[in-house]
Structure 1
Amino acid sequence: MPKRKAAIAVGGVAALGAAALLLPNANASQDKNDANAAATGSARTLKATQASGVAAQVQKILGDAFAGSYYDSAKQQLVVNVVSGDHNVIAQAKNAGAVVRQVKNSTRALKAAAGTLKTKATIPGTSWAVDPRTNKVLVTADSTVTGAKWNRLQSTVQGLGTGMATLKKSAGSFKTFVSGGDAIFSQTQQGGVRCSLGFNVTASDGSPAFLTAGHCGVAAKDWSDSQNGQPIATVDQAKFPGNDFSLVKYTDPNTQAPSEVNAGNGQTVQITQAADATVGETVFRMGSTTGLHNGQVTGLDATVNFQSETNPGGTDTVNGLIQTNVCAEAGDSGGSLFTQDGGAVGLTSGGSGDCTSGGETFFQPVTAALQATGATLGNGGNGGNAGNGGNAGNGAGDQSGSADPSASAGDQSGAGGDQIGGSADPSASAGDPSGSGSGASDPSGTGSAGDGSSLTGSH
């Protein structure tokens, strides 16, 4: 039987700026700088993927005094917030290589504020997150939040107290990005469903598989690599709502599923590990609608309240997401979010705006999907468990931050891209939307635009 080679490949032209950033960076002097920093107790020069390890170390040292951390990409340093603490403990944090910054709001107080927002202001078109850069909860309302809803949100934010939260408006509206194009396909009684392959993985039983959005796996069971083709993969696990990921197994156990992303313009990025996100780090998103784009992580454990497309007036709440200012448009849903050094970070879920005006975009963390499904990153096929990356909890090598994914985005099914499923229970903290977007393209499910990372096969 001939083997099918399944690769994560995306159509479209990669943005030149993002493509240039993918070229290897020289860090020959970094080890020397780190040694000098350790000897003097000054801040270390770190890669973003190293920052999370230092952050975890410092958090243990500081205990309750720890109030979050973020990566300063310009200085290549980890900044750690401290609300109080013994001078000796703070000195230990500095010796670990972090920049220590005194702040007002404790982690407990900020999470309590997010919990209040969950209770009093779960309104369609809103999102919030604890942003360590501002030491505040950043709350965003999209263009649909007006009148009494806006007054309710504004009153809730004001009730949190001075210096606890910031409220801003986004010109766009929060929507999922499942729509049209050359991606993965399925047929249901309601019509055609189009989603995107995120990352090839090896299932816990050693079979080749891939991850995609949970709402895709709920919408349809069997998937093809062509619009009217025969199914080549079947959903094994699908979590939506509550999470937004699916594990889909290739029906041919001899399928070769390389762990890589085709970034366009002849560039292929080998995916070697699962990586948690760190606020401030640079990430790349590939989608067949808009090609390759890069930006920064702006929030973790993000909560987004989408307007339900199946329940008029209802809310589809998703939480535990990664928030970025990387642009995306309808058709980019399910596409790969990754780091320059081959870390699989997220699966495109939804957001607002476009690649002309910018906006907010949210991603399901890959680490949580791997942990829940038992899959590993790496080449599948022939019963071999050849994962390059680790399980979701720890990945392989350095992890970049920590995102506690627990929920999912709105879902699309049928040719019209209608959402399915109910609303998920929102978590306490959420993402900080950055950028103001001018409105998300309405997913149609029938457009010609691509849908994130597509699946290409050759016999």
Structure 2
Amino acid sequence: MTSRKTLVAGFTALSAAALTAGMCVNAASASPLAFAKMQAQAITQATQVADTLGAGNGGIYLERGKAVLNVTDAAAQEKAKAAGFATKLVKHSFTALTSAKNQMDTVKNVPQTSWGIDTKTNQVVVKIYDSASQATKDKVAAAAAKLGDAARVEHRSGKLATYIADGDSINNGQFTCSLGFNVTKGGQPYMLTAGHCTNEGGTWSGGDVSGAQVVQSDCPGADSGLLTRPNGTGPGAINTGQKITSAASPTVGEQIEKMGQTTGGGSGQVTSVDESVNFDVGVLNHEFGTTAHTDHGDSGGPAYDGEKGLGTLSGGDTQTSYFYPLTLELQSYGLELA
């Protein structure tokens, strides 16, 4: 999570030949931008087909940049295959997984746990950290057991933590975070970062910006924070030069890039979506989990895939980094990317 001056996507019948032509990029040799475009095309096309399958839709995920459609019955499988997609026959529809995840959301006051949808395994993955109290462990495990094979429990070592620490990115003189995306509202420039950062208040500075004030701060629940940008609009790009032109929802299996003031750039893969993460500061909803490596000070930094902005970093552990979706941040605050 570097401190970034950063800114930081009717079903049409698809023939197998047309789909193959759209996926002709060799994943092993593709440039990051070409691979990102391949993933974006796969997600769009697969989602269009999945949305026509009704109860037969088990969700989609990516495997090496190519989409796989989960299906719950033979009719849905035949339709997906006719459109040129790889399929996997699964037990639970995506609607059923969402319902199971929502049942877990009724479990309150259980810090150091999380749960979200993993379409690749067709389950809700429930994570329980060894730093949780025994009462919390028992409470969450009991709730997960009621879901049967629609859920799996993973016991994790370590502790979930929101990432805010001293560093050389945007800071208020006491805490350091990372800039996620440069944005605008009504033609005025702003900076988007994590809400658990802006909750600390103060005047923020970093790079060519000084005197930035907190406009809005939402955490827990969401994890969004909006700062003024006193010196004018910043670039709609990551500090590597990668342009960010749109916001999109993440997909399990999607390869992503991240940037932060502490760990710099890097890559990872989306492992879960719509995750409820019970940090000590409270529950953060709709997060997506990734294998990207991040650390303290990276909070608020961007996750992106090519030209698509995906989210801003909330925190994590030694195995998983969680981001809050950019689409929800833009919608909630009425923002546009710079």
TM-score by length of 2: 0.85
Higher-Rg member (1/2): 1
- Read off the aligned partner of 2:279 and give its amino acid letter: F
2:7/2:234 contact within 8 Å kept: no
- Identify the structure with the greater strand proportion: 2
What is the CA RMSD across the aligned residues, in angstroms? 2.7
- Read off the aligned partner of 1:377 and give its amino acid letter: L
1:327 and 2:304 are equivalent in the alignment:
no
How do residues 13-28 of structure 1 correspond to structure 2 at under 5 angstroms?
none
**Identity %, equivalent residues:** 35
What residue number does 2:238 align with?
261
After the TM superposition, which of the residue ranges 151-160 and 169-178 deviates more from structure 2? 151-160
Among 63, 66, 86, the residue aligned to 1:77: 66
- Distance in 2 (CA, whole Å) between partners of 1:292 and 1:330 is 14
1:127/1:302 contact within 8 Å kept: yes
What residue number does 1:363 align with?
323
Among 236, 260, 267, the residue aligned to 2:215: 236
1:176 and 2:162 are equivalent in the alignment:
yes
After the TM superposition, which of the residue ranges 209-218 and 361-370 deviates more from structure 2? 209-218
Stretches of structure 1 lacking an aligned partner (at least 5 in a row):
1-5, 11-34, 309-315, 354-358, 379-459
Among 239, 249, 258, the residue aligned to 1:276: 249
- Distance in 2 (CA, whole Å) between partners of 1:91 and 1:220 is 55
Q: 1:207: how far off? A: 1.4
1:244/1:364 contact within 8 Å kept: yes
What residue number does 2:303 align with?
337
- Distance in 1 (CA, whole Å) between partners of 2:103 and 2:251 is 25
3-state secondary structure, aligned to 1:262 = coil
- Distance in 1 (CA, whole Å) between partners of 2:41 and 2:312 is 22
Task: Label 1:44 to 1:256 Cα distance change in 2 as closer, same or farther (>3 A).
Answer: closer
Q: 1:115: how far off? A: 2.9
Q: 1:39-62, CA deviations, whole angstroms, 9 ceiling, x for partnerless residues?
A: 6x8796372112321232113210
2:177/2:261 contact within 8 Å kept: no
What residue number does 1:245 align with?
224
Stretches of structure 2 lacking an aligned partner (at least 5 in a row):
9-13, 25-37
1:283/1:337 contact within 8 Å kept: yes
- Distance in 1 (CA, whole Å) between partners of 2:22 and 2:82 is 9
What residue number does 2:188 align with?
207
- Distance in 1 (CA, whole Å) between partners of 2:200 and 2:66 is 43
- Read off the aligned partner of 1:94 and give its amino acid letter: K
3-state secondary structure, aligned to 2:242 = strand
What residue number does 1:352 align with?
317
- Distance in 2 (CA, whole Å) between partners of 1:343 and 1:258 is 15
Task: Label 1:42 to 1:286 Cα distance change in 2 as closer, same or farther (>3 A).
Answer: closer
3-state secondary structure, aligned to 1:219 = coil
- Distance in 2 (CA, whole Å) between partners of 1:239 and 1:143 is 28
Q: 1:143: how far off? A: 1.8
What residue number does 2:110 align with?
123
1:44/1:77 contact within 8 Å kept: no
**Structure 1 moving runs of 4+ over 6 Å:** 41-44
How do residues 135-214 of structure 1 correspond to structure 2 at under 5 angstroms?
135-161=122-148, 163-186=149-172, 192-203=174-185, 205-214=186-195
1:68/1:80 contact within 8 Å kept: yes
Q: 1:341-363, CA deviations, whole angstroms, 9 ceiling, x for partnerless residues?
A: 2221111101111xxxxx11100
What residue number does 1:58 align with?
49
Q: 1:31-85, CA deviations, whole angstroms, 9 ceiling, x for partnerless residues?
A: xxxx97246x879637211232123211321012111110111xx3211111126
3-state secondary structure, aligned to 2:293 = coil
- Distance in 2 (CA, whole Å) between partners of 1:274 and 1:112 is 26
- Distance in 1 (CA, whole Å) between partners of 2:274 and 2:239 is 28
Among 302, 325, 340, the residue aligned to 2:275: 302
Q: 1:256: how far off? A: 4.2
Q: 1:230: how far off? A: 8.8
1:302/1:319 contact within 8 Å kept: yes
Q: 1:172: how far off? A: 1.6
What residue number does 1:399 align with?
none
Q: 1:155: how far off? A: 2.8
- Distance in 2 (CA, whole Å) between partners of 1:294 and 1:277 is 14
- Distance in 2 (CA, whole Å) between partners of 1:98 and 1:43 is 13
3-state secondary structure, aligned to 1:224 = strand
After the TM superposition, which of the residue ranges 131-140 and 152-161 deviates more from structure 2? 152-161
- Read off the aligned partner of 1:155 and give its amino acid letter: A
Among 206, 214, 218, the residue aligned to 1:225: 206
